[in-house]
Amino acid sequence: MNDIALRELAKRIKASDPVAFEMVFNLFHDTIFKFLLFKTKDADTAEDILQEVFFKLWNARFTLNEHQSLKNYLYTIADNQVLNHLRHLKVVQSHLQQKPSRLFSVIDNPQFILEEKEWKLKLMNAIDNLPEKTRIIFLMSRMEDLTYMEIAERLSLSVKTVEGHMVKALKLLRQSVSAKL
């Protein structure tokens, strides 16, 4: 598929077109999976991360830059997801080596599970209530692991403006979540 057709698909995804999203999924599914399989050496893990990659693409659709390579964008998300997965594995391994019985007792505790679900729900509601531009910038930073410079370039903003929105987002989220706890 040529660059013009991919730009058109990116525009359509940005406009929440599920058919365009499915076309991109079908077009890049195999190549991204092979990339993830090479990086993780595990088919199940690669498949899980692949789903996260396309989930992130869909969630970030409003901020897509149709002038950027969609293929490179997907590979960047995939690479970041692999790095996050590897970091997570290191943390889990570290905890298991230190105090395995305590880790499982806390995680299996129904009260802990309930509080964690409530906290996540409060956080998601707080994110949803952020002003639109602030929310978009926050999600690009935290969900897509983009730098302030990359966000600024994509949204045609200054880095200082992006920093300001992030400060605002974090302040509002802290206030909202701590007020509800």
Question: What is the C-alpha to C-alpha distance for residues 1 and 24, in angstroms, rounded to an integer?
Answer: 10
One domain, residues 93 and 122:
no
**The model's pTM:** 0.54
Q: Mean pLDDT across the stretch 9-17?
A: 92
One domain, residues 167 and 93:
no
98-119 tens-digit pLDDT: 655 555 555 667 777 777 788 8
One domain, residues 1 and 81:
yes
What is the residue range of 158's domain? 109-181
DSSP H or E segment with residue 46: helix 43-59
pLDDT confidence band for 180 (50 / 70 / 90): low
Choose the final residue of a domain: 60, 75, 100: 100
One domain, residues 128 and 161:
yes
Q: Does residue 127 carry a pLDDT above 90?
A: no
Closest C-alpha among 123, 144, 134 to residue 55 = 144
Q: Mean pLDDT across the stretch 6-17?
A: 91
DSSP H or E segment with residue 13: helix 3-14
Choose the final residue of a domain: 100, 133, 153: 100
Identify residue 90 by its one-letter amino acid code: K
Domains contained in the chain, number? 2
Identify residue 115 by its one-letter amino acid code: E
One domain, residues 91 and 35:
yes
CATH of the domain at 163: 1.10.10.10
Residues 146/140, Cβ–Cβ less than 8 Å: yes
CATH of the domain at 91: 1.10.1740.10
Closest C-alpha among 17, 13, 51 to residue 32 = 51
One domain, residues 28 and 117:
no
153-177 tens-digit pLDDT: 989 999 999 999 999 999 998 888 7
> What confidence score (pLDDT) does residue 51 get?
94
pLDDT confidence band for 4 (50 / 70 / 90): confident
Question: What is the C-alpha to C-alpha distance for residues 93 and 87, in angstroms, rounded to an integer?
Answer: 10
Choose the final residue of a domain: 82, 100, 118: 100
28-87 tens-digit pLDDT: 999 999 999 998 899 999 999 999 999 999 999 988 888 888 888 999 999 999 998 988
CB burial of 8-31 (b: ≥16 within 10 Å; e: otherwise) equals: ebbebbbeeeeebbebbbebbeee
